Amino acid sequence: MPGRRTWFASDSDSSGSAADSDSDASSAAGEESEGNRSSSAVAPAIVRPEDCHTVVVLPLPHQPLFPGFYMPISVKDPKLLQALVENQKRSFPYAGAFLVKNEEHTDSNIVTASDSKKSIHGLKGKELLEHLHQVGTLAKIASIQGDQVFLLGHSRLLITEMVEEDPLTVKVEHLKEKPYDKDDIVIKATSFEVLSTLKDVLKINPLWKDHAQIYTQHMGDFNYPRLADFGAAISVANKLLCQEVLEELDVSKRLMLSLELVKRELEITKLQRSIAKAIEEKITGEQRRYLLNEQLKAIKKELGLETDDKTALSEKFRKRIESRKEKCPSGVLQVIEEELTKLQLLEASSSEFSVTTNYLDWLTVLPWGDYSDENFDVHHAQRILDEDHYGLADVKERILEFIAVGKLRGSSQGKIICLSGPPGVGKTSIGRSIARALNRKFYRFSVGGLSDTAEIKGHRRTYVGAMPGKMVQCLKSIGTSNPLVLIDEIDKLGRGYSGDPASALLELLDPEQNANFLDHYLDVPIDLSKVLFVCTANVIEMIPDPLLDRMEIISIAGYITDEKMHIARGYLEKNTREACGIMPEQVEFMDSALLALIENYCREAGVRNLQKQIEKIYRKIALQLVRRGVSNEPTQEITLVEASEQHTGVDIATEVENKSLRDALAEDVSVHVTQTDLSCENINVVSLTTKSEVDHNINEGMEKVMEALVDSATEKVVVDASNLDKFIGKPVFQPERLFDQTPVGVVMGLAWNAMGGSTLYIETVKVEDGKGKVALVVTGQLGDVMKESAQIAHTVCTSILHEKEPNNPFFMKSKLHLHVPAGATPKDGPSAGCTMVTSMLSLAIGKPVKKDLAMTGEVTLTGRILPIGGVKEKTIAARRSGIKTIIFPSANRRDFDELAPNVKEGLEVHFVDKYSEIYDLAFRSDSGTRAS
């Protein structure tokens, strides 16, 4: 750190001042060794240093200046600088250099030389004096360049008093070492130690070697005080210790202090060296490894063991596409070839390289021209469809027709099947079955909430992290070009913020367009015409029209109780039992339990909830069986037997961990054995596997007890209607029917939504009557269409009443309130029109409608009945509520006729064109046309 240390002049500086310094140095040396010999060498015009009794003060921020050492210092105070320049001109080139005290004030500020000067610069006169050590060095001004002043230490000074404030000038006294005995052994020993330590320092840090030589040139041979000064001057360890050395006039003590400094310097030098060595080693180690790696690569390449990255990659891609070269479109082959050539020209570390590699990876991994052999065997398909799903005869028939056409044509392309229906009716699982029947690979992705077209069409390659769209990803993961792709929740497609996802799907699905589907990422046309697309939706009305237009809709309306019973028995219960690892002989699931489950817990159209409840029941059964200790795993048995072998001869009670059994064995066992409680938790079946041990260790009576326990443990768990609530809690559904016989003003209507069909009551009451009070209030969270429907119904019933009972003035003077429970469920649609008319008329004529009657149909102002949707769902809902007679619009006759016989069975259905027919059916039990 030469900047912070005293410097040595190389030799006589070639300037006049350097020549002076030489003479000064020798004179200073002369003072100590041979008296005042040096005075004869100094030019008489120049003031002798010994005659300097008043000096300008130079504050030193970092280290004291030692006699014989050079120190550069930057003087910022212009007045001080001016004084020094003038002194030099006046042949009085001297100043007093004093170290700034290590006080908080100065220390915190003295960070760099310039900073420290700045802070000292602010201090003047007495204040500055207080911040300086009183012992310093008489410094000869060797040269001044700008504000850089080069000082050469001469001798020690002590400030005696202040003479001038600015620049600070002080009176000084020259200090001399105390006389000492040159032969003193302590001094000798200390100086040897200083010398040997200095040697060590010089060995490690050869920089100081030169300095030592120069010092001896300036100061003559080392003597003890100079040796002590030298040691202190070269050390950077501690400025205060250095100052102590400067202040110490006792040579022995000075040597000791210097030794401490030199030792510290040695430690610092050693540490510095080891740090440097460690860093050097690290760098050379890395370089070595790199070099060796490069050599290894070169050797491997030479031996043909390994080609470089680019060649290896190109070969990998070529190999992949080689097997499909015949089937791969020529356009794609050309692009691959171009990209491979480009790859060779790119720098392996460039970003373009990785983009090209990724692109080639996608291009070559796709199953160009690879198809799975399609199976158009209708019988096989029928078997598979029946195997996976109960009922759904019409759906299966449509699928078989589709397969039959495929057989005749030789391919099944060109159709998009859309399975629509409420949740949990098996749309997704039918899709999977179709794939199995046709021997196609199955891939499913959901577009519910999808709003970014890039998900379908991919990102352009220019984007960082670009990816191809879902379809290309599908082809990659499936590995054939003719999979069955199930696009779930197509009715919940999001509205795009970047492009329209519906249009992107159209391009994907449309048989006219998808033979040349262009993914933004791949940028080469892909033939998707062999892919069979099956979509699922809950509400077809929500599917974008252009998409709907291209689809073959197959609706699945939901299941009636009978169908649910079959599905539950034949599929759900069996699958769940197997999934839970329970044997058929361990459980008895009664039909009554299934029926109660369906009617009281799972009334929705689908069977997903039914499946969940059955799973819940089986989980509980599994827990019971495990608590009893019944296990179907052989390994567990072995463990138990082993465990019992280790404890042969021990009392049985200690063998059995379960406290209840221990209690049972010890006390009244028969209580537990005879109990029929399904939970049977207090019977531990550890005894089953330890039975042989038990035989050896317990007496006859105890043996009988164990046998009884075994019987009890293997007892079946029975689930029936009476204990169903123990498994799944109390029923969640109350009966939909509020009235056995609907009162006056109340009529049952039929409704449907995405979840299936349901029955709903429409109630009308008179609020008040009187002339001019005619009004209708509607409540029940009705939508606009339904509110309008109520208004229409009000008008229609007025005219009907006028026609049927001309003398009845009811509607001319009554304020009515019409309500549709349940009030918290929003409702809308026109199909409750005829029900509303009937409800108001019932109130007007004071007659309840026929028992077990439900109706649905939109009514016009002139009393005509228009068709409605969801005939199957509504019929199923009516059956569930125990309805015997249903009134449908005539236009829905076709829908009803298409229903399966088991759905229509036992129902009296009437089809009407005009409201007057409903009037007759509802209020006159003897009339009406029976339709089925």
- Which residues line the annotated binding site? 421-428
Smallest gap from Cβ 490 to ligand ATP, in A, equals 11
Place of tokens 């080891």: 274
- Nearer Cβ to ligand ATP (324/608): 608
> Which string of x and - marks every residue 534-553 that binds ligand ATP (by CB under 6 A)?
--x-x---------------
Q: Which CB sits closer to ligand ATP, 429 or 697?
A: 429
**245 is a site residue for ligand ATP (CB under 6 A):** no
Pattern of binders to ligand ATP over 142-161, x per CB under 6 A? --------------------
Nearer to ligand ATP, 143 or 555 (CB): 555
338, 347, 344, 345: which is closest to 313 by C-alpha? 344
Does residue 367 touch ligand ATP according to CB under 6 A?
Answer: no
SS3 letters for 347-416?
Answer: CCCCHHHHHHHHHHHHHHHCCCCCCCCCCCCHHHHHHHHHHHCCCCHHHHHHHHHHHHHHHHHCCCCCCE
Give whole-number Cα distances, 894 to 814, 831, 904, in Å. Answer: 40, 17, 13
Closest approach of ligand ATP to the CB of residue 428, in Å: 3
Q: Is 880 in the site for ligand ATP (CB under 6 A)?
A: no
Nearer to ligand ATP, 425 or 617 (CB): 425
CA distances from 486 to 55, 400, 410, 441, 843 (A): 100, 18, 22, 11, 52
The answer to whether 484 contacts ligand ATP (rule: CB under 6 A) is no
Tokens describing residue 428: 């997704």
Contact region for ligand ATP (CB under 6 A) — 8-16, 387-395, 403-411, 895-903?
Answer: 387-395
User: Binder to ligand ATP among 471, 487, 567, 598 (CB under 6 A)?
Assistant: 567
Q: How far is the CB of 510 from ligand ATP (least distance, A)?
A: 24
Least distance (Å) between residue 430 CB and ligand ATP: 7
Q: For the CB of residue 533, give the shortest distance to ligand ATP in the complex, in Å.
A: 16
| Short-list 587, 469, 552, 561, CA closest to 517 | 469
Burial of 634 from C-beta contacts in 10 A (0-12 / 13-18 / 19+): exposed
Cα separation of 472 and 37, whole Å? 102
Number of residues counted as binding ligand ATP (CB under 6 A): 19
Q: Which two tokens stand for residue 738?
A: 């509020």
Span near ligand ATP by CB under 6 A; candidates 315-323, 373-381, 384-392, 809-817: 384-392
Among candidate residues 17, 124, 121, the one with its CA nearest the CA of residue 75:
121
Residue 243 or 576: which CB sits closer to ligand ATP? 576
Taking CB under 6 A as the criterion, the residue among 392, 543, 706, 832 binding ligand ATP is 392
Q: By CB under 6 A, tell whether 427 contacts ligand ATP.
A: yes
C-alpha pair distances (Å), 12 with each of 9, 76, 638: 7, 27, 101
Q: Which stretch binds ligand ATP (CB under 6 A): 108-116, 134-142, 383-391, 713-721?
A: 383-391
Question: Does 530 contact ligand ATP by CB under 6 A?
Answer: no
| 3-state secondary structure at position 488 | strand
List 205, 382, 411, 429, residue binding ligand ATP (CB under 6 A):
429
Q: Which among 67, 63, 84, 64 is positioned nearest to 75, based on CA atoms?
A: 84
Q: Which string of x and - marks every residue 11-40 that binds ligand ATP (by CB under 6 A)?
A: ------------------------------
User: Which of positions 611-640 make contact with ligand ATP (CB under 6 A)?
Assistant: 611
Say how far residue 794 (Cα) sits from the centre of its chain: 58
Q: How far is the CB of 566 from ligand ATP (least distance, A)?
A: 8
- What's the one-letter identity of residue 349? S
Map residue 522 onto helix, strand or coil: coil
Vertex 409, ends 406 and 412: CA angle to 5°? 35
Minimum CB distance to ligand ATP smaller for 390 or for 517: 390
Q: Which residues of 703-733 are buried (b: 16+ CB within 10 A; e: fewer)?
A: eebbebbeebbeeebebebeebeebbeeeee
**Residue nearer to ligand ATP on the CB measure, 407 or 566:** 566
Please, which residue, 482 or 536, has the CB nearer to ligand ATP? 536
Q: How far is the CB of 727 from ligand ATP (least distance, A)?
A: 20
State the catalytic residue, choosing from 239, 263, 827, 874.
874
Give the integer Cα–Cα distance in Å for 342 and 511.
35
Please name the residues in contact with 706: beta carbons below 8 A apart, sequence gap of 6 or more: 687, 691, 694, 698
Comparing CB distances to ligand ATP, the nearer of 117 and 880 is 880
Q: Considering the rule CB under 6 A, would residue 425 count as an interface residue with ligand ATP?
A: yes
- Least Cβ distance, residue 825 to ligand ATP (angstroms): 20
Q: Which stretch binds ligand ATP (CB under 6 A): 6-14, 292-300, 418-426, 784-792?
A: 418-426
The residue among 423 and 780 lying less far from ligand ATP, judged by its C-beta, is 423
Q: What's the maximum distance between 2 C-alpha atoms anywhere in the chain?
A: 157
Residue among 66, 94, 224, 390 that touches ligand ATP (CB under 6 A): 390
**The tokens 């050469």 sit on which residue?**
152
Is 571 an interacting residue with respect to ligand ATP (CB under 6 A)? yes
Q: Which of residues 582-611 bind ligand ATP (CB under 6 A)?
A: 606-608, 611
Choose, from 21, 258, 687, 831, the residue flagged as catalytic. 831
Report residue 705: phi and psi, to 5°. Answer: -60, -45
Question: Cα–Cα distances in Å, from 91 out to 44, 155, 173?
Answer: 11, 18, 21
Q: Which two tokens stand for residue 239?
A: 């400025």
Which residues within the stretch 325-344 sit at the binding site for ligand ATP (CB under 6 A)?
Answer: none
Annotated catalytic residue 758 = no
Interacting span for ligand ATP (CB under 6 A) from 297-305, 419-427, 512-520, 581-589:
419-427
User: What angle is formed at CA 223 by the lines to CA 219 and CA 228, rounded to 5 degrees?
Assistant: 95
**537: Cβ contacts below 8 Å, ≥ 6 apart:** 418, 419, 420, 489, 490, 491, 543
Q: How far is the C-alpha of 169 from the C-alpha of 55, rounded, in Å?
A: 6
CB of 446 to ligand ATP, least distance (A): 9
Q: Which of 424, 749, 829, 870 binds ligand ATP (CB under 6 A)?
A: 424
Which CB atom, from 49 or from 870, has the smaller least distance to ligand ATP? 870
* Tokens describing residue 773: 């009070």
Q: Taking CB under 6 A as the rule, does residue 48 contact ligand ATP?
A: no
The DSSP line for 912-925 is: ESBHHHHHHHHH-T
Interface region with ligand ATP, contact rule CB under 6 A, candidates 6-14, 388-396, 436-444, 811-819 = 388-396
Q: Does 389 bind ligand ATP (CB under 6 A)?
A: yes
Q: Is 428 in the site for ligand ATP (CB under 6 A)?
A: yes
Scanning 386-394, 637-645, 713-721, 741-749 for contacts with ligand ATP by CB under 6 A, the matching segment is 386-394
Decide whether 457 or 564 has the Cβ nearer to ligand ATP. 564
Task: Name the binding residues for ATP.
Answer: 421-428
Active site residue 874: yes
Q: Report which residue's Cβ sits closest to ligand ATP.
A: 426
CB atoms within 10 A of CB 441: 18
Kindly tell me which residue out of 136, 367, 423, 857 binds ligand ATP, with binding defined by CB under 6 A: 423
Which helix (H) or strand (E) element contains residue 289? helix 251-303
Which three-class secondary structure state does DSSP give residue 621?
helix
Q: Which active-site residues does the annotation give?
A: 831, 874
Which residues are near ligand ATP by CB under 6 A? 389-392, 423-429, 536, 538, 567, 571, 606-608, 611
